[in-house]
Structure 1
Amino acid sequence: MIVRTLAECAKSGRKIVSKTWDSTRMLLKDDNMGFSFHITTIYANSETHIHYQNHLESVYCISGEGEIETLADGKVYPIKPGTLYILDQHDEHLLRGFSEMQMACVFNPPLNGREVHDADGVYPLDGQSLD
């Protein structure tokens, strides 16, 4: 059994900080579960370009408000507490935080833990990308 707290993970080097978000990676590839689990904070008044070409992701909004815009069709979806969105088609998108949003995120395949978005909004499969 694996038992961790958010605070323990944040203090142990599993928290990655970027310009528009921070993410505490609570479950990673080396935990051998087949997916990774993260608590991510999207900063207020931010916009992040994301295009997970190598991963599928589901995201549940715990708190805060924002929106996601899919670039292929320009559709905009509001995000508020209780919203789940699933990027099942490697959807290129813009994620906007109107207020600070806390999100629970699941990735398949699992992340290694050090990934950040590259210039194209992608997480590499090797986990070696850093801002």
Structure 2
Amino acid sequence: MIVRQLQDLENSERCIKTDNWQSVRMSLKDDNMGFSFHITTIFAGTETPIHYQNHLETVYCISGYGEVETVDDGKIYPISPGTIYILDKHDKHLLRAHEGEDIVFACAFNPPLNGKEVHDENGVYPLEAESVT
């Protein structure tokens, strides 16, 4: 059994932070679960272009408000606590957090992340990246 505490991981190399978001990687590829699980915070007032060409992702909103827009068709979906969206077709999208409040998500990735992934200039995570210890 593996047991980890979010507050412990927030101050470790399992916490990856950029200008728009922070992702605490609770479980990763080396845990051998077939997926990775993250608590991700999207900072208030930001827009993040994302296009997971190598991964599928399920995203559940724990707190906060915003929207996700699918780039190919321009559809906008509101995000609020209790919303889940599933990127089952490698959907290119824009994730926006409303002003004044961060959005906190629980996210699962397949295939699992190694730990140090960040979006490239196209919003893509590499298929293989450096692992955390």
TM-score (norm 1): 0.96
The answer to whether the aligner puts 1:5 opposite 2:1 as a matched pair is no
Counterpart in 1 of 2:102?
A: 100
Shift of 1:19: 1.0
RMSD of Structure 2 on Structure 1 (CA): 0.7
Find 1:125's aligned residue among 124, 127, 133: 127
TM-score (norm 2): 0.94
What secondary structure, in the 3-state scheme, does the structure 2 residue paired with 1:54 have?
coil
Task: Tell me the amino acid that sits aligned with residue 16 of structure 2.
Answer: I
What secondary structure, in the 3-state scheme, does the structure 1 residue paired with 2:104 have?
strand
The answer to whether the aligner puts 1:48 opposite 2:54 as a matched pair is no
Moved over 2 A (4+): none
Number of equivalenced pairs? 128
What secondary structure, in the 3-state scheme, does the structure 2 residue paired with 1:30 have?
helix
Percent identity over paired residues: 66
Task: Tell me the amino acid that sits aligned with residue 31 of structure 1.
Answer: D
Q: Which runs of 5+ in 2 are unaligned?
A: none
Shift of 1:48: 0.1
Shift of 1:12: 2.4
Distance (whole Å) between structure 1 residues aligned to residue 97 and residue 129 of structure 2: 25
